[in-house]
Structure 1
Amino acid sequence: MTTRALHVASELYPLLKTGGLADVVGALPPALIERGADVRALLPGFPPVVSGLADLRPVANLGSRFGAAPVTLELGTLAATGLQVYVIRADELYTRHGNPYLDDDHVPYGDNAQRFALLGWTAAQLAQHADPSWAPQIVHAHDWHAGLAPAYLKAAERERGKPVARSIFTVHNLAYQGIFPAQQFGQLGLPADFFNMHGVEFYGQLSFLKAGLYYADRITTVSPTYAREIQTLAQGGGLDALLRERAHDLSGILNGVDYSIWCPANDAALPARYTSARLAGKRACKEALQKRFGIAQKSDALLFGVVSRLTEQKGLDLLLAALPEIIKRGGQLVVLGTGDPALENGLLRVAQAHPDAVAVERGFDEALAHEIVAGSDVIAVPSRFEPCGLTQLYALAYGSLPLVHCVGGLADTVVDASLENLADDLATGFVFVHFTPDALQGAIRRAFALHARRTEWKATQQRAMRQDFGWGASAEQYLALYRGLV
């Protein structure tokens, strides 16, 4: 029997992307469909979502909701994959240009609680046949934006006296919890007793993320190690006790890579293509990258790349402290990203002092991200914590050895180039265990040492490129979860 599942999220690549969530929601549903599931997605009607879908047609009129009228539900098709996508049209809530979550001053919109409550509420309406021709058996909600979907499903179940649909809540990053003042609870239309320690209440406020964790039938997160880490006081974000209590409902399923987008053999964004057997194109990518960023055109300089939000979570304060070590050894660094002004300015100061070795571009550019991943020798992902991380998976596919902190999905996907791992043909990158400048510098020194041994470096690159982190295995695990619930 075919399982019908609805993926509920705030973004989906290529329609709208601010981070890795979009990549997952863009790739997982097609991988599930390929394996026989009947999957659709539900998104807020942000302008790029509405303009990016073909054949949009009305499905239901949802009346006046959460301060918006009229609210309608439309269904369209994503041309790139054929995925059918429901869109919530509520212009007062969603028709804003720029960032989907923040205003021009980078402040969260004051009505975000209503904007994303509507997303969860609509998911529950679809489970109750808002679209007469299709209803999901599984509502699969992603991150805090969709966190109220399981709560609305439980409320509907109580009202009807029978289950409406089963729910799965996937945590992509526990640090973003969707917290709002308690007085906004009244606007959500949930039963009064849901505002409770055993419910959506979180230290006197309300948390959309906690609603998902509390009311979903099953919880997943995006790597096995992160699933263990979030049950600890250090990484549980105040929710560790709830997560330990629900440990039997929690599983870590590693995110995958969409190799139709991330493959150096046929990546249109690259100045030259290459494979693990023919790496000459990679050297051309490095040359082009050095030229693009205006740093010294040295083929033998060890080039480190960073494509990241520039935040302390991403460990870039640690990398900034270790930059003298890279420069002293004749290495180079190119950075693409935006974020914490103090980190941006710190990196820009080093770039001004060492224009031959360090270059920084603020902002985000998808094509340039591909060029950096391909042209760098090492991709640095020194995160303090990292639920899964996709950058290191892209780096492996492109033979750019990842340098990572041993946490979350980074620990699950990169094998350190220690002497014994090199001897056993296991090494794929550089891993540091303690989050300290000394530990990071040790990993940087290992990178320089391996780079000096050309034959071993090339063998490690080729091993990295042979790793398979495609969506197939992950999709199978999600399908097994779906079947278990249905």
Structure 2
Amino acid sequence: MKILHATSELYPLIKTGGLADVLGSLPFAQKALGHDARAVLPYYRHVRDLLPDAALVAERDTFGGHIAVRYAEYNGLGLYLIDAPHLYDRPGNPYHNEHYFDYADNVIRFAVLGWTAAALATGLDEVWGKADILHAHDWQAGLAPAYLNAWNAYIKSVFTIHNIAYQGIFQSKHLGEVGLPWEMFHVDGVEFHGQISFLKAGLFYADHITTVSPTYADEITREPAANGMSGLLYTRKQEGRLSGVLNGVDDKVWNPQTDAALAKTFHPKAMQGKKADKKAVQAFFGLNDDDKAMLTVMVSRLTPQKGADFLLESLHEKLPANPDLQFALLGSGAPEMEQAFVRLAEQYPQQVGVYIGYNEELAHQLIGGGDVIVIPSRFEPCGLTQLYGLKYGTLPLVRRTGGLADTVVQTDEETLKNKTATGFVFDEPTAGALGGALENALSLWRKPRAWSPVRQHAMAQDFGWHKAAESYDACYRSLL
């Protein structure tokens, strides 16, 4: 089967979030099943630096100006790169400038991504021919299924929602600038409250919609989780055209037995290395060198979605009452939230450490050295850090939502007895509910003989990408 993924990110070439991790793994898992999986993404400046010798496939004059489509192999994966320096040759982030203002021409930049994906799926690369499946990801690639529809192309398409909160909304006047007919500017089309929504285009015109966990697939058929798309998504669910496929973990990138970022590697039957990793984290952040302290870690954007606000409130309450509670943060976000966590570290220097920014190596070290990883999200389509935590024996403490609900089993009397517990779960997005989960974690932590079996069971969970690849395989075959 020939599968073409359309994406704005692919790890490690370009990454701002979980979308890149998915595209850095799923196509490879599909190739392992015998499929010819490829991806198309913009030839950003950083990607050009890493893959400078991409071969020319085709050139076209488009609504976005002259573009060249180039091809390169990356670790065995075929990549089509959209070479348009006037659109993509910019420093830093793919979506906004250094002042966090979205690029004014994003409507054109990502319409060109959708157009090129549709053109490739319909045979722009004469050597490869037509794709069997065009698989578009998030709003940036949302117009790809719309172009297939406008061109009456008989190519099946799948659209995956990684986070429905980001919808790619632009003024209606741009529809004529991106090569789509005005007949599509309709409630049954790309129109959304008088504007264009790239996300809605993907939802409406794709043959099948997936999202990144079963629970999130259900949540987004209702408001407020659907962010205004509940009617369309509820209809698609009733039609059997909406499903949830849980993300996986790339064993080559996230594996405590081989992770070069760790001070010492470890595995379920030899956990001494985890103690060394914990000491390394405590030393890096200047925390008390205390093996008996429960080191709670967080690797996250500091936003209301991620629950950073009520986590902060809960920590202010729990830290003074529990000297054996430590907290280490790697993250960034709203300046006032960053400053609030920095002040927390200044107030509790031996219990709290904060690193503002992002550091991939430090992320591995925190997840390797932590005892608990906290993910208190108000909503979470899938989440990957809780999966990393499970794999590294760092028990997730999560809110019961989206993929967090699908992957973490609450530790209580019953799950301890039947040996299914893997972490700590709370329901309400409040400091009180989170604080209760922290108390539960501390209670178990203070009983090492009870903690160890839960950690062992957590590490035994299988969230390999092969499972997701097999689920997508079944989805594609049902369309074909």
Q: Shorter-normalised TM-score: what interval?
A: over 0.9
Tell me if the contact between 1:326 and 1:332 (Cα under 8 Å) persists in the aligned partners: no
Equivalent residue for 2:47, pick from 28, 46, 49: 49
Matches within 5 A, 1:164-179: 164-179=154-169
Post-superposition Cα deviations, 1:321-345, rounded to whole Å, max 9, x if no partner, equal: 1102431212111110111112111
Matches within 5 A, 1:151-230: 151-157=146-152, 163-230=153-220
- Tell me the residue number matched to 2:30: 32
- How far apart are 1:423 and its partner, in Å? 1.0
The amino acid of 1:287's aligned partner reads K
- CA gap of 1:481–1:54, structure 2 versus 1, over 3 A, is farther
Tell me if the contact between 2:170 and 2:195 (Cα under 8 Å) persists in the aligned partners: yes
- Tell me the residue number matched to 1:283: 275
2:4 aligned with 1:10? no
Tell me if the contact between 2:137 and 2:159 (Cα under 8 Å) persists in the aligned partners: yes
Post-superposition Cα deviations, 1:217-256, rounded to whole Å, max 9, x if no partner, equal: 0000000000000001221100000000111200000000
Tell me if the contact between 1:120 and 1:147 (Cα under 8 Å) persists in the aligned partners: yes
Post-superposition Cα deviations, 1:258-300, rounded to whole Å, max 9, x if no partner, equal: 0111010110000001011111100000000000111111111
- Tell me the residue number matched to 2:343: 349
- Tell me the residue number matched to 1:365: 359
2:290 aligned with 1:298? yes
TM-score (norm 1): 0.96
- Tell me the residue number matched to 2:108: 114
Tell me if the contact between 1:55 and 1:77 (Cα under 8 Å) persists in the aligned partners: no
Equivalent residue for 1:137, pick from 124, 132, 137: 132
Tell me if the contact between 2:157 and 2:208 (Cα under 8 Å) persists in the aligned partners: yes
Equivalent residue for 1:393, pick from 379, 387, 392: 387
The amino acid of 1:315's aligned partner reads G
Post-superposition Cα deviations, 1:167-194, rounded to whole Å, max 9, x if no partner, equal: 0000000000001111111211101100
- How far apart are 1:55 and its partner, in Å? 4.6
- How far apart are 1:420 and its partner, in Å? 1.1
In 2, Cα distance between equivalents of 1:156 and 1:484:
23
Tell me if the contact between 1:61 and 1:73 (Cα under 8 Å) persists in the aligned partners: yes
- Tell me the residue number matched to 1:309: 301
Post-superposition Cα deviations, 1:136-174, rounded to whole Å, max 9, x if no partner, equal: 1110000000000000000111xxxxx331100000000
Q: Cα RMSD (Å) of the superposition?
A: 1.0
- How far apart are 1:434 and its partner, in Å? 1.6
Tell me if the contact between 2:63 and 2:179 (Cα under 8 Å) persists in the aligned partners: no
- Tell me the residue number matched to 2:431: 437
Identity of aligned residues (%): 50
Count of residue pairs the alignment pairs up: 475
2:266 aligned with 1:274? yes
SS of the aligned residue for 2:396 comes to strand
- How far apart are 1:53 and its partner, in Å? 2.8
In 2, Cα distance between equivalents of 1:343 and 1:457:
32
Tell me if the contact between 2:175 and 2:181 (Cα under 8 Å) persists in the aligned partners: no
- Tell me the residue number matched to 2:477: 483
For structure 2, list consecutive stretches of 5 or more residues without a partner in the other structure: none
Tell me if the contact between 2:133 and 2:156 (Cα under 8 Å) persists in the aligned partners: yes
